[in-house]
Amino acid sequence: MSETLFKVFRGERAKGELCEYSVEVTEGMVVLDAINQIQARHANDLAVRWNCKAGKCGSCSAEVNGKPSLMCMTRMDELPLDKPVKIEPMRSFPHIRDLVTDVSRNYEINQLIRPLKPKPREADGTYRMQQKDIERIQEFHKCIECFLCQNVCHVMRDQQVKEFAGPRFLIRIASLAMHPLDTLNRLKELKDVFGIGYCNITKCCTEVCPEDIAITDNAIIPLKERVAGAFYDPLAWLWRSLTSVSK
């Protein structure tokens, strides 16, 4: 057992400071345990979001020593404990209080995505899909909506482009566009509403994903190719206008 110093951002609406707390560190402890200990012993009203404490709900996202992480899955023994551990809220979202930020924009973007429009069932009332055809979409369905990718994406973080849906929602659109049952063509809105062209494939999102989803390689790049094929390839354009095939 040892004592470690934590510096936790406290304040409201981005006005605040790093406050120091001493934390008793035990074997196997994660950063969220430390935050809960600080709440119980020193700062009852320290605001933080968390739910499952098992890496499944994606609520406890924060910047741990500057690195966007889930606090419940960051073990203390991964961190250098000879210097203070710095905990700050996610930087790309408007600040509310202490470690809590306003992530409502993510819910607004999600609302713009048209839901699945499935093709009819087979004659026997079932849907038949092969495992190999759904595996790549199952990868996207692993997303726990921690919004760390949205937080770290520089199109959102630094350039603050409003017309860009961000990696979380590009994989969601990918999961619909590649869904064996979906009947909608989503390419035009990908370009015009969700701004897929803004992504310049720096893969920051993939690096922080706690679910190890290959966001850029498996979702964004294939979507970019489809959009490019549909809108910027003259042969495809000619073919489309002759046959008016959708999807």
Residues making contact with other proteins (CB under 8 A): 12, 26-30, 33, 39-41, 43-59, 73, 75, 96-98, 100, 103, 107, 110-111, 113, 115-116, 118, 125-131, 134, 137-138, 141-142, 144-145, 172, 175-176, 179, 181
Q: How far is the CB of 188 from other proteins (least distance, A)?
A: 19
Smaller CB distance to other proteins: residue 70 or 227?
Answer: 70
Q: Which residues contact 69 (CB under 8 A, 6 or more apart)?
A: 31, 61, 62, 63, 148, 208, 210
Q: How far is the CB of 112 from other proteins (least distance, A)?
A: 10
C-alpha 13: how far from chain center: 23
Distance CA 230, CA 247 (A): 10
> Is 213 in contact with 175 (CB distance < 8 Å)?
no
Smaller CB distance to other proteins: residue 155 or 179?
Answer: 179
Smaller CB distance to other proteins: residue 87 or 137?
Answer: 137
Smaller CB distance to other proteins: residue 15 or 245?
Answer: 15
Q: How far is the CB of 122 from other proteins (least distance, A)?
A: 9
Q: How far is the CB of 44 from other proteins (least distance, A)?
A: 4
- Residues facing residue 2 across a β-bridge: 25
Q: How far is the CB of 244 from other proteins (least distance, A)?
A: 27
Give start and end residues of each alpha helix (H) in 59-147: 104-112, 131-141
Distance CA 47, CA 55 (A): 19
> Is 102 in contact with 96 (CB distance < 8 Å)?
yes
- Residues facing residue 118 across a β-bridge: 182
Q: Which of these, 202, 201, 207, 204, lies nearest to 220 by C-alpha position?
A: 201
Q: How far is the CB of 88 from other proteins (least distance, A)?
A: 16
Q: Which residues contact 196 (CB under 8 A, 6 or more apart)?
A: 165, 170, 190, 220, 223, 224, 227
Q: How far is the CB of 172 from other proteins (least distance, A)?
A: 8
As a whole number of Å, the CA-based R_g of the chain is: 21
Smaller CB distance to other proteins: residue 49 or 226?
Answer: 49
Smaller CB distance to other proteins: residue 37 or 155?
Answer: 37
Smaller CB distance to other proteins: residue 172 or 226?
Answer: 172
